[in-house]
Copies of this chain bind each other. A is one copy, B any other.
Amino acid sequence: MLAVLFDTFGTVVDWRSGVSAAVHRVGMARGVEVDAVAFADAWRAKYEPSMKPVRDGRRPFVTLTELHRENLTATMAEFGLELPPDEVDDLNHAWERLPPWPDSVEGLTLLRERHIVGPLSNGDLGLLTRMAKRAGLPWDVIIGSDVTHRYKPQPEAYLRAAAFLDLEPAQVMLAAAHNDDLAAARRCGLSTAFIPRPTEHGPGQSRDLQPSSDWNVVATDVIDLAHQLNART
């Protein structure tokens, strides 16, 4: 294995805790009552639908940061939250300030001793770069969706990432907490690793609790993935 690329939101960082904490802080500062966790879930729920017109070619490529901001203003309207534009921008940058899961930094540090590590995320390069600096994620390389110009699960999102690294698809592994992401990567010839994140969507999470297929590796977390891969090479 030469490169291990990671789904990021949910797999490496905990978006629900990070976004809801940022929303909570904004509400406190404004003296407004907001259900911060519900707000975070509502904001994130717009993520997939907002990428669809771009994937379908009905809308020119726009970065995830732009989609996040559109989805944020829609969510604010639903929750009756009003903010001046610079505070909207700042809240939108909550996605650059997400906390890593407890094992992520140590696991990536172990992995990168023998492999190229990087995100393979729908996030854009600027967002992912600032997230990595803030969270201390020791990526070797960042290939944002604005570099491949495709949103997962479009095949080119995976294939172009491998091509930019001058690697064959089979020389690249996608590690993700989401079975559908791994299925799309496998269809492109990538190697696959499943890492469960059973609280990504909160305590009542019902999806992605188990691997849905015989992925190349099933690991308990990123540290375990590093131990399994380093033991093979």
Contacts and interface: CB of A to CB of B under 8 A. Distances in A.
Interface of A: 63, 65, 112, 116, 124-127, 129-130, 132-133, 140-144, 146-147, 164-167
Contact of A164 (B141, B147, B165, B167): B147
A167 B133 contact: no
Contact of A165 (B126, B165, B166): B126
Contacts of A124: 164, 166
Nearest to A115: B133
A109 to B, nearest CB: 13
B133 A165 contact: no
A142 B65 CA distance: 19
Given A125-B141, A167-B126, A133 B146 contact: no
- The 9 nearest A-B residue pairs measured at CB: A126-B166, A129-B141, A125-B164, A126-B165, A141-B142, A147-B147, A129-B140, A133-B140, A116-B129
- Copies of this chain present: 2
Contacts of A125: 141, 143, 164-165
Given A129-B141, A132-B140, A141-B142, 4 more contacts: A125-B141, A126-B164, A126-B165, A147-B164
A126 B126 CA distance: 19
Given A116-B129, A129-B116, A65 B166 contact: yes
B164 A144 contact: yes
21 contacts: A63-B166, A112-B133, A116-B129, A116-B130, A116-B133, A124-B164, A124-B166, A125-B141, A125-B143, A125-B164, A125-B165, A126-B164, A126-B165, A126-B167, A127-B166, A129-B165, A133-B140, A142-B142, A144-B164, A146-B164, A147-B147
Nearest to A148: B147
A65, A140, A142 interface centre (most CB from chain B within 10 Å): A142
A161 to B, nearest CB: 10
A130 B65 CA distance: 29
A133 B127 CA distance: 23
Nearest to A65: B166
A125 B132 CA distance: 18
A63 B63 CA distance: 25
